[in-house]
């Protein structure tokens, strides 16, 4: 599974080309048709019985930043792309633009801050990116307005099972779909690697209208809160406890029959599985299930600590659990379609 290679690629929303090209190269031998649409989706059709259409969806984009200004002293102004907590980005390493210019997100030193500044969450407008330039001309020789900025985080194993990386949301899903497409399918199955999920589930909306599937399964990464200082009832999901089945979030109330089938089938097959114990967040299912007259849709997710940050933590065993359960969905799809 190519999770390391995927996480280390840069693909902020609207700039997913490197991720898309990597996936396309790897999956083309297994696809009967490859579609690249105008919004940036990569859709791979693997043919089976044409009487039904199945959609598997993950997203290629990650949260990040975009350059919005260049100051006279060479510092770069920026805006967030996707939901990011400014408290976790200060002093973090980033790369800017196609040439991956190295930089650091900076702010006023604590020694110089007023008491009110130290006790509040900093505004993005108070932060900047330092690429070592001393003048505007020096900075503009390296970067330009509209350049995308990604976290500069190397993949690293923390134990035999857990790893640290950026963009686990949703390169974990990409890695899983890249494995699933290698296997035979019963019905025409569309493996959708969608764009711009982090800024409004945009790619999934376009893809689902193109396909008009009979059923859809979204493969995602989701928040995990099983950390020091939190009570059990605050955990949401647990790393190492397997695939996450969602019953409801901000964008979707999941089809009851389908999500119950996923949970019970996992239990019967000995696949570790858990319910997401919160209704926050949302994913591509929020757009897919509203397509046409409505699409039966569910989500399977990989629990991830510190999601939408420079470095998340996830479990390879959980990723395998999601892959195995998604494969059962494809193998036994007549039970739920």
Residue 335 phi, psi (nearest 5): -75, -15
Chain centroid to Cα 206, Å, comes to 17
> Which residues does the annotation mark as catalytic?
197
Tokens of 1: 């599974």
Residue 192: how many other CB atoms lie within 10 Å: 32
**Half-sphere exposure of residue 126, counting CA atoms within 13 Å on the CB side?**
15
Cβ contact 181:104 at 8 Å: no
Chain centroid to Cα 291, Å, comes to 21
The alpha carbon dihedral of 151, 118, 133, 91 has a sign of negative
Three-state SS across 256-305?
HHHHHHHHHHHHHHCCCEEECCCCCCCCCHHHHCCCCCCCEEEEEEEEEE
Q: Residue 112: helix, strand or coil by DSSP?
A: helix
Smallest Cα–Cα separation from 299: which of 261, 245, 223, 227? 245
């Amino acid at each position: 599974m190519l999770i390391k290679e995927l996480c280390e690629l840069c693909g902020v929303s609207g700039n997913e080309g490197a991720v898309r090209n990597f996936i396309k190269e790897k999956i083309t031998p297994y696809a009967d048709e490859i579609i690249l649409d105008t919004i940036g989706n990569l859709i791979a059709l693997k043919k089976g019985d044409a009487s039904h259409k199945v959609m598997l969806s993950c997203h290629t984009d990650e949260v990040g930043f975009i350059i919005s200004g260049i100051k006279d002293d060479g510092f770069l102004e920026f805006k967030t792309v996707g939901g990011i907590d400014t408290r976790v980005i200060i002093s973090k390493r980033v790369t800017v633009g196609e040439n991956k210019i190295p930089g650091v997100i900076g702010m006023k030193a604590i020694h110089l801050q007023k008491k009110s500044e130290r006790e509040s969450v900093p505004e993005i407008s108070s932060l900047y990116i330092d690429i070592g330039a001393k003048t505007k001309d020096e900075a503009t020789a390296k970067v330009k307005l509209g350049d995308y900025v990604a976290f500069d985080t190397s993949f690293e194993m923390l134990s035999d099972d857990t790893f640290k990386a950026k963009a686990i949301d949703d390169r974990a899903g990409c890695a899983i779909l890249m494995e699933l497409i290698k296997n035979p399918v019963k019905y025409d199955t569309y493996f959708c690697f969608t764009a711009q999920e982090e800024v409004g589930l945009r790619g999934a909306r376009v893809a689902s209208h193109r396909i008009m599937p009979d059923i859809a399964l979204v493969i995602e990464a989701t928040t995990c809160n099983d950390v020091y200082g939190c009570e059990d009832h605050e955990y949401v999901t647990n790393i190492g406890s397997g695939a996450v089945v969602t019953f409801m979030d901000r964008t979707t109330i999941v089809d009851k029959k389908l999500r119950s089938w996923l949970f019970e089938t996992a239990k019967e097959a000995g696949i570790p599985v858990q319910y997401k114990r919160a209704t926050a967040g949302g994913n591509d299912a929020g757009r897919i299930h509203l397509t046409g007259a409505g699409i039966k849709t569910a989500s399977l997710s990989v629990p991830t600590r510190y999601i939408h940050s420079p470095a998340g933590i996830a479990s390879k065993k959980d990723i395998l659990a999601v892959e195995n359960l998604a494969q059962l969905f494809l193998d036994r799809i007549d039970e739920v379609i």
